Amino acid sequence: MFVLLRAIVYASLFIGFFLVYIPARIVGRSSDLRPPDIELQQIVGIIITAAGAAIAMWCVVTFAVAGRGTPAPFDPPRRLVIRGPYRLVRNPMYLGAVLALIGGAIFYASYPAFGYAAFFFVCTHLLVVFYEEPALRRTFGSDYEEYCRNVRRWWPRLRAWNKS
């Protein structure tokens, strides 16, 4: 139970800063914060944001329950997490975050917010390639190698992978 609480606190701080505070500052500087009407564009933005947030939260819970850790680099999962959304793609938490950012950019019709979503994706890609993957290879060895051979980094599988 304590690990789930740690995961929720970390996720709340990360989401609050990178997915709410910074985008709100960007949108606030570039346009009105409230669109004049709720139209199809805003509904699409809400749906994409909600889907991204749901994916990210599913990942946080999966990290806590299956991995016995959090998404925080200083408190990582103790076990290799290849359950839930991680059976479809190796980095679903980041994909969920990017979807949420794109949904917000669509909602506000904000090109600077789209730019931030792209910048966020590039930064997470670099973090994954140069820090997370090497750390996971050192920690989990051949199990992680097998996982990498079967599950792509960014493009989800159509069918969930089951370790043989």
pLDDT digits (tens, 9 = 90+) for 62-118: 988 988 888 887 788 889 999 999 999 999 999 999 999 999 999 989 999 999 999
Q: What does the longest C-alpha to C-alpha distance in the chain come to?
A: 54
What are 102-158's pLDDT values in tens digits? 999 999 899 999 999 999 999 999 999 999 999 999 999 999 999 999 999 999 999
**H-type alpha helices, 128-159:** 133-150
Do 154 and 144 touch, CB atoms closer than 8 A?
A: no
- 0.85 exceeded by pTM: yes
